[in-house]
Amino acid sequence: MSSIPFPPSGQYLRAVRESSRAVRVKANVQISDDSIERFLLSPAFTSTYTRLRAAHGMTMPLNFSSVVSELNVLSVLSLLNFASGYRVPLHQVTGRGAFDNIRAFVFSAYISSSGGAGDYFSAQGMKEITASTVADLMRVTGSIHVERPHEKIPGVTVGELGGPVWEIVQIIATTLNETGEALMNGGYPDLGSFVLEALKEGEKAKKAGGDECEVALERFVRGIPAFRDMALVYDQPVYCFKKAMLTLHAIALRFGKSDTPSVPVPRTSHLPIFSDNVIPSLLIHLGVIDLSTADDALGLPSLFPEARNPERLSTLLAAAEPVGDVVAKIKTVPKEGPLLTVEQAFVLRAAAIDACELIVQKAKTLDVSGHKEDLSWMKDMTPPELDAWIWAVAKDRADYRKLERFALRNTAYF
């Protein structure tokens, strides 16, 4: 990623919005005013938004020895908030999706560290953790081998490390190693200490009339390689910074409820969305993002062809059918969505960032006075709340859980 320039200092949030819109327009991905209004006024949205707009699932049921310790674990959880490209193989092995596996790993590593196994989430522990330790803490050691024919003995197979679960284990280990090394080079004992310093710098900027998120975001991205969520598409940089912004929002959700917070709490309501694979995929299925006339050279129109079925769209935008408790608890292995290239994935993620900016803008000006329900809450919609709703509703409805999501392998960004 060294060939991709950082955004200009002080303009990271602007760079996310502007680069996303630019690449979306260049790729001819359509987002119409009519499709946004149809989505905003749909029963699927209006009947569930206020219930699902707040949670991001980042809380951990743990006891912490200090605020910095909690901030460290929360920051590590945000740092490792990826593996979406391995959702199906992880489901097959553990019965859980990508984020649930990451959260279980963080929980297990923290508990093991507290039990005297060495602090896996100190800078030193992160730098030294091995892939085999990660596999052990994830409880997937029985699923990281593949069999291949012996080169010289017919009929004999040889087991060796490999397969998709081993891939994601290695990516997790490498991300922790790189982060630990960066922290040690900077003189930080752990990620929480680094994050706290960035928050304090942001607080100084806030008191001087600046944007604290802008300051902290730049520190995160410049300081930690795994936060450099950017790529070149059409030879132009596209900046998403999903995990870095999510770290700030997770901190705001966790510590912002107190009248006397123990850490500087950033104001995050103006942040762009934290774009992964779920949000763009859902917005395509719900008719907001239209790929039918998008850049054929990138292969975009052939993705999600079923999303153009008007009857299917009508069903998805209707209120959810009631699901019995027993049915709701049945978890099936999801169907693998299209495997994308880096360029395809960044175009769709950028389109989702721009779509959510346009949705929020439309919600503030939409005339809802004649609607049978009270929709005055739309005027106060924020991108992070819209993000939370899309992410939550993807699991909330049985028919949405079956919708295909695109996947990108070998990435530590989402």
Mind listing the pLDDT tens digit for each residue in 266-323?
999 999 999 999 999 999 999 999 999 999 999 999 999 999 999 999 999 999 987 6
Instruction: Give pLDDT, residue 8.
Output: 98
Place of tokens 């992880």: 90
CB-based contact 282:390 (threshold 8 Å)? yes
Q: Following CA atoms 255, 74, 357, 348 in sequence, which dihedral angle do they give, to the nearest 10 degrees?
A: -170
pLDDT at 116: 56
For the cut 70, the answer to whether the pLDDT of residue 330 exceeds it is: no
Q: What is the pLDDT of residue 3?
A: 86
Closest-CA residue to 335 (of 141, 3, 89): 89
If you count DSSP H runs as helices and E runs as strands, how many of each does the chain have, helices first? 19, 4
CA dist 382 and 272 (Å) reads 9
Q: Span 158-173, mean pLDDT? A: 89
Instruction: Provide CB contacts within 8 A for 343, sequence distance 6+.
Output: 231, 233, 298
**Burial annotation 264-293 (CB, 10 A radius, 16+ → b, else e):** bbbebeebbbbbbbbbbbbbbbbbbbbbee
Q: What is the pTM of this model?
A: 0.93
Statement: residue 196 has pLDDT above 70? yes
Give the sign of the dihedral formed by CA 221, CA 224, CA 229, CA 233.
Answer: positive
Q: What is the mean pLDDT of the chain?
A: 93
| Cα–Cα distance for residue pair 183/180, rounded to 1 Å | 5
Three-class SS state of 407: strand
CB 162 within 8 A of CB 170: no
Residues in the chain: 414
Q: Are 221 and 6 in contact (CB under 8 A)?
A: yes
Instruction: Give 142's pLDDT tier (boundaries 50, 70, 90).
Output: confident
Q: How many CA atoms lie within 13 A of 87 on its CB side?
A: 25
Q: Is the pLDDT at 2 greater than 70, yes or no?
A: no
Cβ atoms of residues 138 and 130 within 8 Å: no
**Domain definitions of the chain by residue range:** 12-401
Asked if 91 and 333 count as a contact pair (C-beta separation under 8 A), the reply is: yes
Classified as helix, coil or strand, 236 is strand
Estimate to the nearest angstrom the gap between the alpha carbon of 63 and the chain centroid.
Answer: 25
Within 41-188, where are the H helices?
43-46, 49-52, 67-79, 87-94, 98-112, 123-128, 131-138, 164-186
User: Is the pLDDT at 328 greater than 60, yes or no?
Assistant: no
pLDDT tens digits along 213-265: 999 999 999 999 999 999 999 999 999 999 999 999 999 999 998 888 899 99
